[in-house]
């Protein structure tokens, strides 16, 4: 039989299955570093406030540091009967330093403790994720600059629409991720607030200095209400929302990479290091990394819904339900971090097949809008121009040629407003270069936009 830290009011031992069912140490031990950091800040504050003696605090701190080393050396014995990371470490502390360890939990509860641990842990993860996001964003800017002149068909309805530059497409991806980055940093502000010192729910009778522990732990401020401080999990919800949106963006990028690397598109080569083969079909090179990122988006969306459903209708303040916040949050963090890392490595090394892209743009009548705009400049109303070009395209389809490959006289059958200068707008280069305004696909604009993107990223 094991003594529980809360055993005083109980007559019977915990049912063995219930012990395992209610335990969280199997997953929340991941919070050990933050749990120890929080305990050290709390112990020192108690000493500064005269609640415990200074030498008692230093004994506690020394014991906690020794425990941290044992955990990191893989020599710590995690006990399911001690339920969670908090009680495992506290029990080990008393074994380590003797009875003085029993003073650590003065003026504290596991409720403010776990909320503090989780916020500290998530803050570290958010910073790491922001770093990977920035690395991917920088990679996109580099590809955008390198491929500012590379032309491919832009699509709507996945049908060739108008030519765009590959650099422009990369900067569209950048914008999606930039908003994710902003959302992440915005969520970090509300995340970085200290619940420590409110104890179980109502506050504590000891003269705690919550601002001191907040400062020691790098928080920007303290939670204003004790009931809210222990029961709020908005920070986890916000992170999972940001993660789900970001994964959604990654899944869209993934889908395009899967399409582009197919034999039918053949726009890019993803690099052997990022693909795998087939056990039966010798010719295969499968785009596993983008496919997996696309697939993993589902689980992050699921974690967001798990947390929303977990929090729905919970009465104040702490409920054991909240123990269920960790596994979805941990997996959302791991999945997003891994997906970003994979793309940050893969995307800049993707080989662009410019000739194939160009040929696809040429085949798709991607300059049809340019011809219509040309006719408008010659005085034709846009609707009439649209009709004229539609007939010219139909003629092109039946004779197997692009608009730019027809004779002038042939084009003039459709409108006498067409002159010899028409061929300037029917080139792919002319088409993209003409879209020369903020947000347009002209190579010169793409270069400017890439430079601006780099500055916006640095300024975040």
Q: What string marks each residue from 27 to 66 as x (binds ligand ARG by CB under 6 A) or -?
A: -x--------------------------------------
317 lies in the site for ligand ARG, by CB under 6 A = no
Nearer Cβ to ligand ARG, position 251 or 322? 322
Residue 332 C-alpha from the chain's centroid = 9
Catalytic pick among 157, 279, 398, 437 = 157
Q: Distance (Å, rounded) from C-alpha 443 to C-alpha 435?
A: 9
Instruction: Quote the least distance from Cβ 328 to ligand ARG, whole Å.
Output: 13
Q: Tell me the pairing of strands 221-222 and 193-194.
A: parallel
Crossing angle between the packed helical segments 234-260 and 326-346, to the nearest 10 degrees: 30
Nearer Cβ to ligand ARG, position 28 or 132? 28
84 lies in the site for ligand ARG, by CB under 6 A = yes
Q: What are phi and psi of 159, to 5 degrees?
A: -110, 145
Which of 14, 39, 111, 213 touches ligand ARG by CB under 6 A?
111
Span interacting with ligand ARG, options 57-65, 213-221, 314-322, 442-450, rule CB under 6 A: 314-322
Please check whether residue 366 is in contact with residue 431, taking contact to mean a CB–CB distance below 8 angstroms.
Answer: yes
Q: Give burial (CB, 10 Å; 0-12/13-18/19+) of 309.
A: exposed
Instruction: Quote the least distance from Cβ 198 to ligand ARG, whole Å.
Output: 13
Nearer Cβ to ligand ARG, position 24 or 367? 24
Instruction: Quote the least distance from Cβ 209 to ligand ARG, whole Å.
Output: 23
Residues in binding contact with ligand ARG, number by CB under 6 A? 11
9 lies in the site for ligand ARG, by CB under 6 A = no
Nearer Cβ to ligand ARG, position 28 or 56? 28
303 flagged as catalytic: no
Which of 88, 162, 322, 339 touches ligand ARG by CB under 6 A?
322
Which of 91, 93, 100, 114 touches ligand ARG by CB under 6 A?
114
Instruction: Quote the least distance from Cβ 109 to ligand ARG, whole Å.
Output: 7
320 lies in the site for ligand ARG, by CB under 6 A = yes
Task: Count the Cβ atoms, other than its own, within 10 Å of residue 14.
Answer: 18
14 lies in the site for ligand ARG, by CB under 6 A = no
Q: What string marks each residue from 437 to 456 as x (binds ligand ARG by CB under 6 A) or -?
A: --------------------
3-state secondary structure of 159: strand
Q: Give burial (CB, 10 Å; 0-12/13-18/19+) of 450.
A: buried
Which of 14, 24, 194, 335 touches ligand ARG by CB under 6 A?
24
110 lies in the site for ligand ARG, by CB under 6 A = yes
Instruction: Quote the least distance from Cβ 240 to ligand ARG, whole Å.
Output: 17
Torsion of CA 406, 412, 418, 419, to 10 degrees: 70
Q: Distance (Å, rounded) from C-alpha 186 to C-alpha 74?
A: 36
Catalytic pick among 168, 278, 398, 431 = 278
Of the candidates 126, 248, 240, 281, the residue with the CA atom closest to the CA atom of residue 189:
126
Which of 174, 318, 330, 365 touches ligand ARG by CB under 6 A?
318
Span interacting with ligand ARG, options 65-73, 109-117, 241-249, 303-311, rule CB under 6 A: 109-117
Please check whether residue 161 is in contact with residue 153, taking contact to mean a CB–CB distance below 8 angstroms.
Answer: yes
Report the run of H or E that residue 222 belongs to, with start and end. strand 221-222
Report the run of H or E that residue 164 belongs to, with start and end. strand 159-165
Residue 163 C-alpha from the chain's centroid = 30
157 flagged as catalytic: yes
Crossing angle between the packed helical segments 110-146 and 32-48, to the nearest 10 degrees: 130
Residue 282 C-alpha from the chain's centroid = 35
Instruction: Quote the least distance from Cβ 196 to ligand ARG, whole Å.
Output: 14
Q: Going by C-beta distance under 8 Å and a sequence separation of 6 or more, which residues neighbour residue 232?
A: 115, 195, 223
Q: Distance (Å, rounded) from C-alpha 15 to C-alpha 165?
A: 66
Instruction: Quote the least distance from Cβ 178 to ligand ARG, whole Å.
Output: 34
Nearer Cβ to ligand ARG, position 86 or 103? 86
Instruction: Quote the least distance from Cβ 63 to ligand ARG, whole Å.
Output: 21
Alpha carbon of 426 to those of 163, 219, 348, 367, 421: distances in Å?
Answer: 11, 59, 31, 6, 9
Which sequence positions are flagged as catalytic? 157, 278
Contact positions toward ligand ARG, by CB under 6 A?
Answer: 24, 28, 84, 86, 110-111, 114, 318, 320, 322-323
């Amino acid at each position: 039989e094991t003594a529980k830290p809360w055993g005083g009011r109980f007559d019977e031992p915990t049912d063995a299955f219930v012990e395992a069912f209610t335990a969280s140490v199997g997953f929340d031990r991941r919070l050990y570093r933050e749990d120890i950091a929080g305990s050290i800040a709390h112990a020192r504050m108690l000493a500064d406030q005269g609640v415990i003696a200074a030498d008692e605090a230093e004994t506690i701190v020394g014991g906690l540091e020794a425990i941290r080393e044992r955990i990191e050396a893989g020599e710590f014995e995690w006990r399911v009967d001690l339920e969670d990371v908090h009680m495992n470490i506290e029990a080990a502390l008393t074994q380590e330093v003797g009875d003085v360890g029993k003073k650590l939990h003065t003026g504290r509860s596991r409720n403010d403790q776990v909320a503090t641990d989780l916020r500290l842990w998530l803050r570290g993860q958010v910073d790491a994720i922001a770093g990977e996001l920035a690395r991917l964003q920088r990679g996109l800017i580099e590809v955008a600059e390198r491929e500012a002149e590379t032309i491919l068909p832009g699509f709507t309805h996945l049908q060739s629409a108008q030519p765009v530059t590959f650099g422009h497409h990369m900067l569209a991806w950048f914008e999606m991720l930039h908003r994710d980055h902003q959302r992440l940093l915005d969520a970090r502000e509300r995340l970085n607030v200290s619940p420590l010192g409110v104890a179980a729910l109502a506050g504590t009778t000891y003269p705690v200095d919550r601002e001191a522990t907040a400062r020691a732990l790098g928080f920007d401020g303290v939670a204003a209400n004790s009931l809210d401080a222990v029961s709020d999990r908005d920070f986890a919800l916000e992170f999972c929302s940001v993660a789900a949106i970001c994964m959604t963006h990654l899944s869209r990028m993934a889908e395009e990479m899967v399409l582009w690397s197919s034999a039918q598109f053949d726009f890019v080569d993803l690099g052997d290091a990022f693909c795998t083969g087939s056990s039966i079909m010798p010719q295969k090179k499968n785009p596993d990394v983008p496919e997996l990122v696309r697939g993993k988006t589902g689980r992050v969306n699921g974690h967001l819904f798990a947390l929303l459903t977990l929090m729905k209708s919970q009465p104040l303040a702490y409920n054991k339900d909240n123990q269920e916040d960790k596994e979805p949050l941990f997996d959302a963090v791991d999945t997003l971090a891994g997906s970003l890392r994979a793309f940050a490595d893969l995307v800049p090394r993707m080989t662009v097949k410019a000739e194939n892209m160009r040929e696809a743009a040429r085949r798709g009548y991607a300059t049809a809008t340019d011809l219509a705009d040309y006719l408008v400049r010659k005085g034709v109303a846009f609707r009439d121009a649209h009709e004229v070009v539609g007939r010219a395209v139909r003629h092109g389809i039946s004779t197997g040629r692009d608009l730019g490959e027809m004779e002038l006289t042939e084009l003039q059958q459709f409108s006498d407003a067409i002159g010899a200068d028409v061929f300037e707008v029917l080139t792919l280069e002319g088409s993209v270069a003409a879209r020369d305004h903020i947000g347009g696909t002209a190579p010169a604009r793409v270069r400017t936009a890439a430079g601006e993107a780099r500055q916006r990223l640095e300024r975040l």
